[in-house]
Amino acid sequence: MINKILSSIADKWSRKNGYKQTLWIAYPLILSTSAFTIQVFIDRMFLSWYSPEALAAALPTTILSFNVVSFFMGTSQYVGTFVAQYMGAKSPEKIGNILWQGIYFSSLGGIILFILSFMGEPIFNFIGHDSLVKEQQISYWKFLAISGIFQIQLGALTSFFNGRGKTYPVMWSSFASTFVNICLNYCLIFGNFGFSEMGIQGAGLSTLIATFTNVSILSILIFTSKNNQNFNVRSDYHFNYERFKRLVNFGMPNGFTFFLNITVFTVFVLLVGRIGIIELAATNIAMNIAMLAFMPMVGLGISVMVQVGQSIGAGNPELAKRATYSGLQISFMYLAFLGVFYLFLPQILIYPYEANATSSNFDQISEMAKIILRFIAFWGFFDALGIIISAGLKGAGDTKFIMIAIGVIGTCVSVIPVFIVIEILSLGIYSAFINGTVFMATLGITYLIRFRGGKWQKMKVIETEIN
């Protein structure tokens, strides 16, 4: 019996699109997303040391800015599926042009973000959080909106590497960006090493500079003579209407999905914020810790999407299916490990936030965050199910179904019920997190049913005939 189990594990490890290949593509992305997680974690930790108002302001402002970024970034990121399918179809010479279509689309988003950077005051006046928090949100917003211009470009630039399964450059550029962000955070938030004390504005400026650093590094790595020779990244920059239209047709539903996901989460956090500063601060801490689970899932999801895309491009849907289930099994094993800490040892994860906190309310914030983490321990499994299975569907081109599913389920199972339990019934923060778990479960199971139905196996985003 034991030999049979070990033999099965060994087979799943070594076979094509098995555990080994999935992790080989994923682990630089996991490290990359983990670097981003650490960046945000330390950012929030520093803000928790600075003031409860700064901490409370950070999460809603961040997710609101990312809400705008998400549509354009989600669309430009879909360049990666085109790259993967071109690689699978043995047509690498078309990669440069699809990259440029992603850059052109990203530029449209950049214009909108620039305009919105001047609109922080009316936006946060409308949201209506506590006046002390609102003041912090407005000052933070302008930096995040400008940094969003570069975040959108990252969607297309990282896809050049991710779609080919060459994920190390993305990892190293993320490491550099994280290092820049952490150093500047320490200097600019508190006014260390001779810098002026900027508080939450310092956190925003650090994010802006770090994101620009990331874009600069990837641009230098992409536009080399070798890449131009292999992929036409310099020479094939012309606007291609047909290819741009295909990117929009398949990528915009992915962008809307990204947008709707963030919107649902944004509404959730904004409604929680209306309960009070303590509840908002506790949610901020718990959600940032939850990123320890979420961000590696994103890396695994990209790995799955790449393998599915390459397999579909090569006309082998069975390999695509294997890659998806390999990613799902790996994610469940990782979450089982993290769940031990969320359920039984949450104080270890919360300690960095409370170590130097000066607020008299922080004991209450800390206890509330511990309880929230126990909810997250359960919804994390359903979140992983949704991330990995949807990645498999996206890798084939089934983006419109995912968009419709998140729109309907997000509205009917999350936004409306959370509004009712908080604003009408006043049931408090824990009822909102119970609802969040139900939402994650419904979404993940819906994606799984769609995947098992197999319609995605007949899809393809690239041209049917490759010349």
Report CA Rg, the chain: 22
The model's pLDDT over 203-260, given as tens digits with 9 standing for 90+, comes to 999 999 999 999 999 999 999 999 999 999 999 999 999 999 999 999 999 898 888 8
The 10s digit of each residue's pLDDT in 115-172 is 988 888 888 877 766 677 788 888 889 999 999 999 999 999 999 999 998 989 999 9
The H-or-E segment that residue 284 falls in is: helix 277-313
CA distance linking residue 270 with residue 127, whole number of Å: 8
Place 288 in a pLDDT band, splitting at 50, 70 and 90. Answer: confident
Q: What pLDDT, in 10s, does the model give residues 2-14?
A: 666 666 666 667 6
Task: Give the C-alpha distances (Å, rounded to integers) separating 238 from 70, 99, 102.
Answer: 26, 11, 12
Q: For 311-353, how does the pLDDT look when each residue is reduced to its tens digit (9 = 90+)? A: 998 889 899 999 999 999 999 998 888 888 888 888 888 877 7
- Dihedral (Cα; 412, 416, 422, 428), 10-degree rounding: 10
Where do the domains of the chain lie?
15-458
Question: Could you give the C-alpha distances from 115 to 49, 171, 207, 263, 327, in angstroms and in order?
Answer: 32, 31, 19, 20, 39
Q: Give the whole-angstrom CA distance, residue 114 versus residue 237.
A: 24
Is the per-residue pLDDT at 467 higher than 60? no
* Cα separations in angstroms, 335 against 100, 281, 331, 382: 37, 24, 6, 10
Please give the average per-residue pLDDT across 401-405, as a whole number. 94
CB 427 within 8 A of CB 437: no
